[in-house]
Structure formats: C-alpha cells, structure tokens
Amino acid sequence: MKHNIISFSALLLISFMLSCTSEDLTDLNIELPADVASENLVLKSTRLQPDCDPAWIPLFSEKRTTVGNLVVSNRDSKLEIEFVPGSSYSIREVQLWIGTDPKKVPKNRKNIPIPGKFDYKTSGQSTYTFSIKLSDIYDIPEMLLEGKVICIFAHALLLNKQTSKLFSAWSAGTTFGVKRWGTYSTYVCCHPTGGGGCFPHNAYCGKPIDGINYLQIASSNQKIYADNGEIIGNTYLSDGKIYFNFYQDWMLEDSEANIEIAGLNSLDKQAIAINDFIVERELGNFIIEVPKYNYYQVNLNVQYCTTGN
C-alpha cells in the first residue's frame, strides 16, 4: 500500500507507544493505550518566535501519559523544533530524524527505528531546540512551503522529578507498523507571507480499533478522519457500495490511484487488497462498489483547500 502520511494540526491522532532507556530500542512490546492521561504541561514556549503558528505535538511515555510537547514551526528557509517537557519532568537527551520518506529512517533488522543513529541528537542541555535548513530536508524548499510533508521521528529520554526514574517517549502520530510499536509525527510547512492553497493529507475511514481504522458493515453512518485527527466527512455502506461525503474545504485528490481499499471478514485475519474498483461521482459525493466483507480498511489521499486571508 502507498502511504502518504501528512499533517499540520496542533494535535495529532494518538497512535502507539515505543519506549526504553537505551538508544537501540529493540526489546520492547508496548501495547496500544486505551486512553491517555495528561500531566500539567508547559503551555508556552519562549525559545521559538516563528512566522507561523507552531504545531504542538504531544510527547507520550510508556506509561501512557502525556509528558511534554514537541513544538514545530517554520520560517521561510528553516524548520524549528523544540522539545518541551511537562512540569513534572526534565529532559536528559533527545534524538531526532527529519525527512520526507519515513522508510529512510535508520532501522534495525526488525524495522524498528534506532534513535541512536538519528541525524540530530544531544544531551545535558537546559533547552532542546533545533533549527534545520529546509534545504537539508528537501532540495527545493519552495515545495515544502506548498504543502510538502515532513516526517519527524522525535525520541526523548526524560527524568521523572518525583520518582527519579528515567523513561523514554516518542512524539505522537503514525505507528511504525511493527509489533513493537512507536510513532512518528508529520508537519506541513506554512507560508509565512500568508495566502491560500491546497494542502495534501492522508485520511482514514471508520472507527479506530487497536490503532487501525475500520469501516464496518454493521455500522450505519461513520466518519472520515484526516491524519491530524480532524473529522473531515462521513462515509457509509449500502448495497455493496461505499459512499463518501466531505465537509467544506476538504476533497479527494483527483486520481483514483489515491484510494486504497482492503477487506476482511474478521479482525484476526489478513486484509485483502481490493484493486479493481470504479469511482462514481454524484452530487458532491463519490461512490465505490466493493466485494462484500465485514470490515474495510480505506485510506484516501485528500486535500484541504483554502483561499487564505
């Protein structure tokens, strides 16, 4: 499957955890949290003065708590990232990898990202702020400012001030896609001078179950979620067809290749890709006829379009 995972929201959809106290994170088996408890977080960053509003991305620990934030913003030519701990914690070290293709992150043989091999890392600092040239991430910075997605693998080792215990945290976002789960975040550069445009996103249909969204034949009206956690439309199944309707300013990208569908009758079975389908359009909706399954995984490449201010 093709995965173009993108986001510019202040908070991303909570996914999976991967934690440890060593750089080679290979011996973990953290289960997906049922919910997340919040700590008293630092609510303002004094280090960054971005030209665009920053995105605040939660940092999550293996104890399924929010322990800080990753503050991401951009200027004309630089991406700025700051690790901000919650008031009950201090940061001892951080590792950061930035790129446009998450498959290129340093990994071990089990496809688990290795923070110790990330490009940016430091320890023993009072603040943890990185200013990275957009040209170091992508060779045409202007394309980033037009909505090119940036993938951020952000790992931190923190100290609990009350218990003196060291623990690991990742920034929230998309699962690594392996049994030992962790998450990476995404960010889409804004244009500091303002103006409108269309910004690409990935979207998922149906209720999330163990971190994967499923469109269920037994449910009636279900939701379409963007990769930033925003509900962007409705979808439902009827007479062997999936119906999609987007909210204002959201739309499907033009090509049918931007739709991925797989079906399965039981959640413990492997999903089967559905490749032969035709997209019909009707009164602002689009419709896909599909073989009958009890569950469907539907991924869409969509875009948010705005005229700006």
Degrees, nearest 5: CA angle 54-56-58: 165
Confidence of residue 44 (pLDDT cuts 50, 70, 90): very low
- pLDDT confidence band for 174 (50 / 70 / 90): confident
Between 177 and 104, the higher pLDDT residue: 104
Maximum average pLDDT range among 97-101, 224-228, 274-278? 97-101
Q: Which of 38-47, 216-225, 226-235 bottoms out in mean pLDDT, i.e. has the lowest?
A: 38-47
Q: Rg of the chain's alpha carbons, rounded to an integer?
A: 20
Tally of CA atoms within 13 A in the half-sphere of 251 that contains its CB = 12
Categorize the per-residue pLDDT at 29 as very low, low, confident or very high, splitting at 50, 70 and 90.
very low
Distances (CA, A) of 39 to 12, 89, 249: 17, 10, 34
Closest CA to 118 of 72, 152, 84: 152
68, HSE (Cβ side, Cα atoms, 13 Å): 29
Q: With CA atoms as reference, report the closest residue to 50 among 147, 123, 129, 128.
A: 129
Query: pLDDT value at position 111?
Result: 87
Cα angle at 80 between 203 and 232, to 5 degrees? Answer: 20
Question: Which pair of structure tokens corresponds to residue 284?
Answer: 């602002």
Nearest to 57 by CA among 37, 33, 77, 41: 41
Contacts of 134 (CB under 8 A, 6+ apart): 74, 77, 78, 79, 141, 144, 145, 189
63's tokens: 């104890």
- Mean of the per-residue pLDDT values for the chain? 76
Residues ≥6 apart with Cβ < 8 Å to 104: none
Per-residue pLDDT for 308 more than 70? no
Q: What is the mean pLDDT of residues 107-134?
A: 92
Residue 212: per-residue pLDDT: 84
Q: Which candidate, 173, 148, 153, 171, places its Cα nearest to that of 226?
A: 173
Q: Which residues pair with 233 in a beta bridge?
A: 224, 246
**pLDDT 10s digits, 79-116:** 999 999 999 999 999 999 999 889 999 999 988 899 99
Structure tokens at 278: 């035709």
- pLDDT reading at 23 higher than 60: no
CB 68 within 8 A of CB 155: no
Nearest to 174, CA basis, from 292, 63, 13, 49: 13
Residues 168 and 155 sit within 8 Å (Cβ to Cβ): yes
